[in-house]
Structure 1
Amino acid sequence: MELVEAGEEDLDTLVDRWYSLAKAMEPYDELNELAYAEITEVPDDGFRDHLDDDEITDYLVVHEDETIGFVTLRDGNHPSRQYSQYLRIVNLAIDRDHRNQGHGSKVVERVVEMARDQGCDHVKVSCEWQNEDARRFYRDTGFRPKQVDYARPLE
């Protein structure tokens, strides 16, 4: 398994996989409702912006020359904290046919290596509170609960 930095030619692949991930998140909270009824409506602008943002990088997850997922990483820092430099996993998705085969764990291991190489002192990730599978996955790959995000819709 390797992480291959995505480029302009990978925008359709990223949008397809992001849409699948975003659709899977919809049932967890009404705030996850997508604005796009069909994948064909999703612009690639969001991922195109990532290509120009020095703090965000998208990678394709490649196994045996086949793209099986993607991960989006964002650099960050908390200058007032002892543990100040971090790498955040923004999106991590492995295609359904390749799940439960250790690929996600390998992606996390690789992200941890990348964070160390970049001088980071920790890796962050968030997931839906109701998504017990994701919570279990992150606990099993060495993450611990640290903070709870709250959201309040403004209606």
Structure 2
Amino acid sequence: MTDFEIRRATADDIPAIVAMLADDPLGAQRESPDDPAPYRAAFERLARDPNQHLVVAVRDGRTVGTLQLTVVPGLSRRGATRSIIEGVRIHADERGNGLGTVLIEWAVEESRRQGCVLVQLTSDASRTDARRFYERLGFEASHVGFKLPLDG
């Protein structure tokens, strides 16, 4: 699995990233690939924040994977810095060939490089395959997550 590169996402990657985010039952309900404006605005916010690392995996000039790594300084755990992995997506044509593992390994190594002592991620409870994937990589289900939708 060395015939692709992992690099920081650019604005040109937005359509491919959004298409991957929308390419599953949950994403199809949440994403709007036909309206690029909110994604461009979000990308600009991410690009300005040094604690945000939106990356893509590219093979033969084609974006085939993505994830977002957020570095979070904190006071708990004796002032520990942690990271959060989000938005992990692999293009449908590339699933099952190890690219997801390589992306997660990249995120873990980048977290170490950033001085993090803990890497966190969440996965929707309905994504049983994703749960098995993360457990295989050494992640442990340790918390109950809560969400509060905000209007607007």
TM-score normalised by the shorter chain: which range applies?
0.7 to 0.9
The aligned residue for residue 10 of structure 1 is 13
Q: Secondary structure at the match of 2:116?
A: coil
The aligned residue for residue 50 of structure 2 is 54
Paired-residue identity, %? 25
The aligned residue for residue 34 of structure 2 is 40
Q: Secondary structure at the match of 1:72?
A: strand
Q: How does 1:82-93 map to 2 (within 5 A)?
A: 82=78, 84-93=80-89
Kept in 1: contact 2:13–2:63 (CA 8 A): no
Q: Kindly provide the amino acid, as one letter, of the partner of residue 35 in structure 2.
A: E
Deviating more after overlay: 49-58 vs 135-144: 49-58
Kept in 1: contact 2:22–2:31 (CA 8 A): no
| Distance of aligned partners of 1:103 and 1:26 in 2 relative to their CA distance in 1, 3 Å threshold | closer
After TM superposition, give the deviation of residue 139 of structure 1 in Å. 0.4
Q: Kindly provide the amino acid, as one letter, of the partner of residue 67 in structure 1.
A: T
Q: Secondary structure at the match of 2:129?
A: helix
The aligned residue for residue 25 of structure 2 is 24
After TM superposition, give the deviation of residue 83 of structure 1 in Å. 7.6
Query: TM-score by structure 1 length?
Result: 0.80
Pick the aligned partner of 1:124 from 110, 120, 123: 120
Q: CA RMSD of the aligned region, Å?
A: 2.4
Q: Kindly provide the amino acid, as one letter, of the partner of residue 17 in structure 1.
A: M
Kept in 2: contact 1:86–1:123 (CA 8 A): yes
Query: TM-score by structure 2 length?
Result: 0.82
| Distance of aligned partners of 1:145 and 1:82 in 2 relative to their CA distance in 1, 3 Å threshold | farther
The aligned residue for residue 151 of structure 1 is 147
- Structure 2: where are the runs of 5+ without partners? none
Aligned equivalents of 1:8 and 1:35: distance in 2? 17
- Structure 1: where are the runs of 5+ without partners? 28-32
Q: Secondary structure at the match of 1:121?
A: strand
The aligned residue for residue 59 of structure 2 is 63
Kept in 2: contact 1:90–1:126 (CA 8 A): yes
Aligned equivalents of 1:83 and 1:64: distance in 2? 42
Aligned residues: 146
Aligned equivalents of 1:151 and 1:35: distance in 2? 18
